[in-house]
Chains A and B, each alone.
Chain A
Amino acid sequence: MSAESRLLLPVGVHTALRAHLFPGDGNESAAILLCAAGPGRRLKLLARELIPVPHEACSVRKPDRITWPGRWIEEAIDRGEKEGLHIVLVHSHPGGLFEFSAADDASDSVVVPGLFAAYDARHGTAIMTPDGRMKVRFYDHDLQPTVVDLVMVPGDDIKIWWSDHQGGPPMAFTSEMTAANQHLSVAVIGASGTGSIIIEQVARLGFGRIVVIDFDKIEGKNLNRILNTSCADVGRFKVEVMANAAASHRGNGTVIPMPTSILDREAVIAASDCDFVFCCVDTLEARLVADLISAMFLMPLVDMGVVIPVRRHGGDVRIADVYGRIDYVYPGGATLEDRGVYDPERLREEYLRTHAPDAHRFEVRDGYIKGIAEEAPSVITLNMRVAAMAVGELLARLYPFRHEANRRYARTTFSLAACEEEYFAEEAFTASGAIPLARGAEEPLLGLPALSARRGQP
């Protein structure tokens, strides 16, 4: 089982596609997907647009056969060529055959050359069975087909269909789960208090590749809360220490260290090659980037935050709360921005606080910026709790084990002071759809000019 190529469908596109392909009459149906590609090295097709071929437009619709008019392909070519989108022709196998048939091969040999004649891209074809599974193949210039290893639909549950495996997901917390994880990869933004604990977990859980992004170096004051660090590590990049630690029990190459800011083009491209994102940071800027990665590269995102607000009581300072938050975000659902985790005003404020502390202080004084509470330093017990829940959140989506639907747990918060946990369903938030889905490699990357190839450079 190779793990390199993927077709990702936003849950909305997959639901619409399935409804169209299986109208209930038991006959084959057809549709076209226009897909962007990710910017990374791995082939990652991101379904952006669905063009259903109307049932009545097909001259033949039988349980094992369909003939559909080529002018819908022309429509797809017209819409896809401008943005260089890859065309995938999909039809249904109502009988449940999870293979390309001889008829499919014959049909492809006629149709696919026409797609390549229209414009150059990774064109392909796909089938869907009634349970929603898909198998996809794309063609090279010699019209040799290659089957895409994995089709993923990241929603409340993360549906994964391997091209060579028909069963459902393995049971959570078993060695089968660990084996399955081997073919999946994780991007971790931030390798500090919570990040190091996330990395420890995903490495032990067997994930095949872990890209870790953090520009920071270890300081003596970090040793109280960063796993796998020692006094000897002070001054080293956090990501390198993490990579060495993982290598000691997983072998070399499991953790790929990226010692740079997340506002770095190479880091974003490396993250885009992964399947999931964990956001373990204390900046809004990084959360914005994680949000954009999730939507634009169709990657489920788990974001976490901890805070220990304090209050004054007479002359004393007392703990007001010990608080943690875990958000699970899927492409097309409510984003971190939709959930109020950050906004344009606070992003500017954070920029100013970081790059122009004097100006920031003046603006706070002048009332242009609302003063924000200083965040107390986090502690390892709190970090471990929130990081364990964050990884548990991903496992629950991949290998469902909850008694109730995952949709009820879009956000979890807990208070160690009040000994309370709260759950927010996806419906508690409004998905604005403001971030375009499946943008892929379009420039500027993630729509952020800071990530674009610099003006004036080739």
Chain B
Amino acid sequence: MSINQTAGSQPAENAITIEVAGTDLAFGPVIIRDRTPTGAQIAAAAGLTPAQDPYVLSFLPDGELVEILASETVDLDEGRRRFIVTSADRSYRLTVDGEQYDWPARMVTGATVRKLARVPAEFLVYLERQDEPDRLIGNQDIVNLGDKGVEHFHARKQTWKLMVQNVLIEIATPTVVVADAMRQAGFDPAQPWHIFLKVQDQTKREVAANYVLDLRTPGIEKLRLIPKDVNNGEACAPRQAFALLPVDERHLDTMGLKWETVVDGGRRWLLIEGYPVPEGYNAAVVTLALEIPGPYPGAQIDMFYVHPALRRLVGEEIPATQATETVLGRIFQRWSRHRGPNSPWSSRLDNVMTHLTLVDGALAKEVNQ
């Protein structure tokens, strides 16, 4: 591959533009008329005489920084166009995430390390230290490379953790608006919530949705949410009008579907949104409803209910699904499916989980799966 010809930008036919910077890493164009210049030629082009002890570093195409001796040649056709030229009698060695760099000055700033290793803005630079926590190096912080040994830097993506009503979220910025944190945790900030900020060793206090949390404050613990009025509007967060067995709740949580328990006209329903049904029906997912009697699991769960109503894409009407039940205004199709006389409900063994196997079996049966 030939050199990168940006037509018209070259002042003469054999003149080549390279980029040269000092230890400030502020690169500027420099013209050179040799495709394979020596280190001395590059230093001269940058305006340094041999008496000034020029020191030339070249960026390799992969970003590595290598020293070019005065007599050593560089092939510009290999894409090596960026150089650091400074006056120095020695270089100092550092690494960033294991990658080695030589730096011609005793002092280096955090910004320089960042530029050298092209650390993205959302990453932080840490200086590795022995027997104590690594030190966070800000852009303005100066690190002395003159101490014995090689300085090792690490770039780490910064995240802050926050508990929002038992949901752990990670945030890439050190500050976050309460409403954004709630959205990220799956709560609708438009709903009327009492929002409490609990910081370790401090009394909790109520904050507004537009409050800006500074996650750098030591000991930020969590946001707790309490609905201001449970009857006011349809809450985004799942409703838990009554408890299920711990084993049920664990299982439902691991299904990754939104589920809630609601009471409608004295009847107790478990609703599972987005419940997948086998192929062959008019829908891929339904809202599944199970009626949970008060003395459950002493009382059994029977039948199941789906919304929208399911019908087969091929074949006749599904038997015993003609009745409907209304839950919170939504019409559910009742599937009259029951345990056989040989497998009666056992309050010790049966639960929502085992009833879901009956549901899955019944749904599969009607489309011969």
Contact = CB atoms under 8 A, between A and B. Distances in A.
Q: Do A and B come from one complex?
A: yes
Interface of A: 263, 284-285, 288-289, 292, 343-345, 347-348, 350-352, 354-356, 359, 362, 366, 368, 434-435, 443-444, 447-450, 452-456
Nearest to B352: A449
B294 A285 contact: yes
Contact of A344 (B246, B338, B344): B344
B12 interface: no
A352 B325 CA distance: 13
Contacts of A351: 293-295, 299
Contacts of A343: 344
B242 interface: yes
Given A285-B294, A345-B300, A368-B338, A359 B325 contact: yes
Contacts of B301: 348
A344 B300 contact: yes
Interface of B: 240, 242-246, 248-249, 265-268, 291, 293-303, 323, 325, 336, 338, 344-348, 350
B297 A447 contact: yes
A450 B347 contact: no
Given A351-B293, A434-B348, A444 B300 contact: no
A235 B265 CA distance: 24
A449 B242 contact: yes
Nearest to B244: A449
Contacts of B267: 355-356, 359
Contact of A434 (B244, B265, B347): B347
- Max chain B Cβ within 10 angstroms of own Cβ: one of A352, A444, A456: A456
B227 to A, nearest CB: 10
Given A444-B243, A454-B242, A347 B293 contact: yes
A449 B296 contact: yes
Contact of B347 (A344, A350, A455): A344
B336 A449 contact: no
- Max chain B Cβ within 10 angstroms of own Cβ: one of A285, A344, A450: A344
Given A351-B293, A366-B336, A448-B298, A345 B244 contact: no
Given A348-B301, A449-B242, 10 more contacts: A263-B295, A284-B295, A292-B298, A344-B297, A351-B299, A354-B266, A355-B268, A359-B267, A447-B297, A449-B245
A391 B298 CA distance: 27
30 contacts: A263-B294, A284-B295, A285-B298, A285-B299, A292-B298, A344-B344, A344-B345, A345-B300, A345-B302, A345-B344, A345-B345, A348-B301, A351-B293, A351-B295, A354-B266, A355-B267, A355-B268, A359-B267, A366-B336, A368-B336, A434-B348, A447-B297, A448-B298, A449-B242, A449-B244, A450-B295, A450-B296, A453-B243, A454-B242, A454-B243
